[in-house]
Amino acid sequence: MYPVSAAYKLAITDPTFEYIVTGTIGNQAFDESSIVNGTFRISNQCTDSSDFNLGSVYTATLEATFRGIAIPRQEWIGKTINFGVSLKLRNGTYENIPFQPFVIREAKHSAEGVSVVAYDYMIKLDKKFKKGHFQFEGGWWGFVDEIENDTGIVVGMTDEEIEALPNGDEAVELVGSNGKLKDFATDIETYRDLVSWMAQTLGSFATINRSGELIFVPFKDENSNVDTISEEHRIAGAVFDDFVTNYNGIYVTNTATGDETYYGYDIPTLEAELTAAQATRTSLLNQLDQLEAQWQAHEITEEQYKAQKKLLKKQISNIEKRIKWLQKALSTATSEEGNYLDIGENPFVQENSTPATVQTLRVGILNALNNISYTPFTCETVFGIHYDLGDIIRFEGGHAGEDGASCCLMAFNWTLNGTYQMQGFGSDPGVPMIKTKTQKSTKAANQNAVTAMNNSGGDAGMQYSVRISENMQMVDYTVVS
């Protein structure tokens, strides 16, 4: 969510809204009086419209009809539209919400005015991928540098921000020791393909932020909502599904052999880790009690007390987050319901480095999916331009039910002086997303194999990856962690 003031948050609870637009097309200024009513529309999304997926790279679209802008014919296409939209606050002033720059790709002259279609800088990625040219060492930052050099796009993330993403601190490479692109990466046609595989491996989607920079955004925990919208702020017609989408497995296609590997959570590992985390929390809480006692007895200075307390509180908060995560993973893993995500032939998780890295990356993607626990929805409001894709929004009351629904903003379609339509997608975990009978059997066989290994006492406390033959028999399994 774009950071807005308290006055803005108050203004969106009012029944009336007044927006103004200020911006430029090339070097020509425009405002709402240059826009034909009802034609100024922006849309964008971060997953497919049919179902949730990881690694989407969508381009935002701006459509509008302008009148009275002094740009000669045949000079519209290629011009950049820079603008912000401001909402009137209670005190009569306006608060500006910026948007990323859009580049005009189509312009049509008609009786109404000049109708344009413009796209954000994501279109810079629609460029043929220079194969064999990616020469660098180490992690993701190398890819980011090359993409910036080759396409002119700017990546709006620091090294630390990339490292904080799922799999963000892992080493990856697509170029072999002979300096040539590895075979499995030869399917990458454009930079958009490359960014999509990167985003998927980073458990994220790629989008353009309000400064016009490429960013990778991970899917957030359903409790990290940025806002709550109640029924009196939703336009009649909202629809919420009766299920919560979650994932307890992924499939990866191994390019070399063409077979698929299933990854699921291993319950004993999760249980062991949860017990350990809970023990750590108890120990940290005891340490905090001791510290308090020392402080009361004047055995330590105030500075020491404050510094140690701060450190302990941070450790406790981290371990509590981990406990929540583990509890959730465990509940997903033990539930009979759950979707799997087919991540296909992602070149980053093939035999690109040591096999251990490949396994770590694959499990990293599975772990990133643990955050997903969203109710699919469609809802319209008269405000919303301050929200960003991937934001978690809680809906309460009315059709969202008494307990409310946690939803992830996966697509929006906003019309100036009209409505902000929000959507979130996903499938019912009770009805597995089966495309073919073979896949269904594969999933069942995989699950059976994992269960069989667990029951036979296998390597309890480990995560497995299982290979399945064409006739649905377990070929072998590898210990992941």
The residues that touch other proteins, with contacts defined as CB under 8 A, are 15-19, 37, 230-238, 380, 382, 397-399, 417-419
- Of 84, 66, 81, 153, which is closest to residue 119 (Cα–Cα)? 81
- Of 204, 193, 203, 206, which is closest to residue 58 (Cα–Cα)? 206
Nearer to other proteins, 227 or 380 (CB): 380
CB of 407 to other proteins, least distance (A): 15
Alpha helix segments (H runs only) across 408-473? 437-455
Nearer to other proteins, 347 or 384 (CB): 384
Give Cβ neighbours of residue 114 (< 8 Å, ≥ 6 apart).
Answer: 65, 66, 67, 69, 71, 76, 107, 108
Quick one: how far is CA 156 from the chain centroid?
A: 15
CB of 373 to other proteins, least distance (A): 24
CA distance 181 to 183: 6
Radius of gyration of the chain (CA): 25
The number of residues in the chain equals 481
Q: Which two tokens stand for residue 239?
A: 């629809």
Nearer to other proteins, 192 or 234 (CB): 234
CB of 380 to other proteins, least distance (A): 8
CB of 379 to other proteins, least distance (A): 9
Nearer to other proteins, 113 or 347 (CB): 113
CB of 96 to other proteins, least distance (A): 17
CB of 284 to other proteins, least distance (A): 45
Contact between residue 329 and residue 370 where contact means Cβ atoms under 8 Å apart: yes
Nearer to other proteins, 237 or 355 (CB): 237
Nearer to other proteins, 233 or 443 (CB): 233
Nearer to other proteins, 54 or 400 (CB): 400
CB of 381 to other proteins, least distance (A): 8
CA distance 297 to 258: 68
Contact between residue 25 and residue 77 where contact means Cβ atoms under 8 Å apart: no
CB of 40 to other proteins, least distance (A): 12
CA distance 425 to 284: 40
Nearer to other proteins, 7 or 276 (CB): 7
Q: Which run of H or E residues covers position 215? A: strand 214-218
CA distance 423 to 374: 11
Q: Which two tokens stand for residue 230?
A: 């109640």
Nearer to other proteins, 35 or 114 (CB): 35
Half-sphere exposure of 105 (CA within 13 A, CB side): 15
CB of 414 to other proteins, least distance (A): 12
DSSP of 34-94: GB-TT--EEEEESS-SSS--SS-BPPPEEEEEE-S----TT-STTPEEEEEEEEE-TTS-E
